Chains A and B, each alone.
Chain A
Amino acid sequence: MSNLKYDVIVVGAGPAGLAAATVLAKAGVKVIVIERGRFAGSKNVMGGVFYSDCMKGIIDDFPGKAPVERHIIDQRIWLLDNNSFVGFNHKNELFNKKPYNCHTVFRAKFDNWFAKQAADAGALIITRTLAKEAIIENNRIVGITTGRPDGDIKADCVIIADGVNSLLAKSLGFRKEIKRESVALAVKEVIGLDEKIINDRFNVKSGEGVTIEVTGSFFNGEAMAFIYTNKKSISLGVGMVVEDLVKNKINPNDLLESFKAHPSVAPLINGGETKEYLAHLIPEGGYKEMPKLIGNGVMVVGDAAMMVDAIHREGSNLAVTSGKLAAETYIEAAKAGDFSKKSLSLYEEKLKESFVMKDLKKYKGVPALLQHNKRLLQQYPKILNNAAFEILNVNGVSKHDKEKLLWKNMKQQIGVSNLIRDLFKLWRNVG
């Protein structure tokens, strides 16, 4: 029987867990982080955009020496059809001012750096170790077991930050097996290219970056894709809800290959060499699928708590913020020495006051809306692409006749009542 005892055990060295650990360690709390990967970040993947604001109060002068790639100054959205896209973009010199709004990052490097910051602050980071189960005494979580000999650890409080598949949240009954329609599988490739080529192709200077979010009829309205610029590479990927992958028998690799071959995408990556291939699950169930967040001696943060705002491609910043709030809650609770569910409910309150819960709540209908109204990202983008072509293609037909034709097509393909219904649903869920 081991007698390892800490104030707090953080399970998982991703952004949520490391944010919690750093804040706790800086406050002098004895904290241990248990990570199953060979190093922090070794198993962690995301598309690649990390927002800076959430690091306030955790890391001074972020990004400082953090391993970031390019700060994003130009954000584009493409509604992709088979041979075309209709796009929107916003490029702004204000995004060229420090502290930068967001950067592209490689999580293997970034999380490893973040773990070093947590360790420097005094947190103990233990890798290659799986947190298996919670130790429960008198209806209270008092520690965890690991797969190792002498591997039991006791603590006042456990912060569960073990990601989308959260073994611990499941084993505690905080949540059920994740539903297939609430989780997306994203695959991504990192394609190496010269820095200068990337600058030229994306019309930016070194250090400046571009993100392109892509959806539309090209993917039958069922997938989201992205193209992000790194220093000397492009991250490009596509994600699709697992239920749709299974139902349509789609191999995500094929989807990614067809995306890479699209005439609007291929020239951007032409001549590049694939350096890495990655895949990960994204919890996209949103507010409605969130698990229980607190119990006696336990709090759940980050992906383990389904904190992803899919339509704004935000996740890591929600994770970091939730980790910070959980840490602050512990520090408050420690003053009274009370780590009961009631005492830790402060964490839920703090979340509700923060953008995390406000955003998740605001967009709670979006996952179901998109899941059950494929037309939104399928037919409309197609109509839009056709319309753009018709308007811009000069062929002797008057603009008036073109508009009439377009409207007629819209009525035929969607129908006026559906149009009104869709607009109303969109306004209710997104507006």
Chain B
Amino acid sequence: MHALVFIKQVPDASQVRVNYETGTLIREGVPAILNPFEVHAVEEAVKIRQKFGGKVTILTMGPPQAADALKECLSRGADKGYLLSDRIFAGSDTLATSYALYEGAKKIIELEGEVDFFFAGKQAIDGDTAQTGPGIATRFNVPLVTYLIKLDEINLEEKYVIATRLTEFGQETLKVPIPVFFTVEESLNTLSHSPLPWLIKAAQSKIEILSGENVDLDKNQCGLKNSPTIVKKAFTPEKKQRGATLTGTFDEVVNQAAEKVAPFLNDAL
């Protein structure tokens, strides 16, 4: 079994504040963390490895500091981390990012062997697009199960999984052939406490760096120039005031409501 987990290092959203005048995020001084959804993706991949054997590989694209996020994955039980890092990727939108990660993943398959399970978080908490994972899956032309909440069955011999995903209307349980790409919800699993030896191994391990040179790239699909996404406007939703709560018996509440609403109707009529 070989699982490949795509992760992203993101600003700690609990510490990011919004500049209400410009509508932009204040990221300065905010520590970077592993995207919370991907913590669960790593956890699930490691759980599968503990059951079936094999290995878990991690891939991310980002600046050299992103190695810290990879090390955290290793401390959570992953076997090896790869960092795709090159200036040519700077400013990539989800289209260019999914292309770069697809090429990086192909390189990893070359180095580490065929992949059975691709994992990513359902979205990154800094952009909330939920596009990069599906973008990679589409490029690999493998089945895609988004919003995964449960892996009901894994059959490596007959090469299928039964997986449950969240939809807008409820849940959907699917039988899907392997290899398969999952984007996961936080409710997929509860995080376990990693044994100390895993943390020690992670601290001692080296992160493999893949640059644009190591990977077979079409440079015309990389970076800001080849990112068609345009941010037209960024704004902060207005804070809605909480409605008033009326208390009392039914009749009292109706009377209070009528009195409050009447002036507006008077104006309107």
Contact = CB atoms under 8 A, between A and B. Distances in A.
Contacts of A192: 28
Interface string A145-184: 0111111010000000000000000000000000000000
B75 interface: yes
A2 B196 contact: yes
Contact of B193 (A149, A275, A276): A149
Interface in A174-203: 190, 192
Interface residues of B, number: 16
Contacts of B248: none
Contact of A128 (B26, B31, B199, B204): B199
A39 interface: yes
Contacts of B194: 148-149
A275 B200 contact: no
Interface string A282-299: 000000000000000000
A125 B195 CA distance: 15
A148 B199 contact: yes
Contacts of B195: 148-151
Contact of A151 (B196, B203, B204): B196
B243 interface: no
A108 B31 contact: yes
A149 B193 CA distance: 7
Contacts of A190: 29
B197 A4 contact: yes
Contact of A149 (B26, B33, B196): B196
A206 interface: no
Given A124-B203, A124-B204, A129 B29 contact: no
A148 B194 CA distance: 7
A343 B28 CA distance: 48
Contacts of B29: 106, 190, 275-276
A177 B200 CA distance: 32
Contacts of A2: 196-197
A126 interface: yes
A275 B200 CA distance: 34
B201 to A, nearest CB: 10
A128 B29 CA distance: 20
Nearest to A233: B29
B36 to A, nearest CB: 13
Contact of B196 (A38, A39, A150): A150
A126 B196 contact: yes
B31 A148 contact: no
A379 interface: no
A4 B75 contact: no
Interface in B188-239: 193-197, 199-200, 203-204
A39 B31 contact: yes
Contacts of A106: 29
Contacts of A124: 200, 203-204
Given A4-B200, A126-B200, A147 B193 contact: yes
A366 B9 CA distance: 48
Sorting the interface of chain A by its residue count into under 10, 10 to 19, 20 to 34 or 35 or more gives 20 to 34
A264 interface: no
Given A108-B31, A275-B29, A276-B29, A129 B197 contact: no
Contacts of A38: 31, 33
A128 B197 contact: no
Interface in A108-154: 108, 119, 124-129, 146-151, 153
A52 interface: no
A32 B203 CA distance: 10
Contact of B199 (A108, A119, A129): A129
A253 interface: no
A42 interface: yes
B196 A153 contact: yes
Nearest to A276: B29
Nearest to A275: B29
A35 B123 CA distance: 30
A151 B75 CA distance: 13
Nearest to B194: A148
A196 B247 CA distance: 56
B16 to A, nearest CB: 12
A147 B192 CA distance: 12
B28 A42 contact: no
Given A124-B203, A124-B204, A129 B28 contact: no
A4 B196 contact: yes
A126 B203 contact: yes
B193 A148 contact: yes
Contacts of B33: 38
Contact of B197 (A39, A108, A150): A150
Contacts of A39: 31, 68
Contacts of A147: 193
A4 B193 CA distance: 18
Interface in A42-65: 42
A153 B200 CA distance: 11
A124 B196 CA distance: 12
Interface string A262-287: 00000000000001100000000000
Contacts of B197: 2, 4, 150
Contacts of B204: 124
Contacts of A276: 29
Contacts of B196: 2, 4, 126, 129, 146, 148-151, 153
Contacts of A127: 199
A38 B204 CA distance: 17
A125 B204 CA distance: 9
A4 B204 CA distance: 14
7 contacts: A2-B197, A4-B200, A106-B29, A124-B203, A126-B199, A128-B75, A147-B193
List of 3 A-B pairs having minimum Cβ-Cβ separation, nearest first: A149-B195, A151-B196, A150-B195
Interface of A: 2, 4, 32, 38-39, 42, 106, 108, 119, 124-129, 146-151, 153, 190, 192, 275-276
Given A2-B196, A4-B196, A126-B203, 20 more contacts: A2-B197, A4-B197, A32-B200, A38-B31, A38-B33, A108-B31, A119-B203, A124-B200, A124-B204, A126-B196, A126-B199, A126-B200, A146-B196, A148-B199, A149-B193, A150-B197, A153-B196, A275-B26, A275-B29, A276-B29
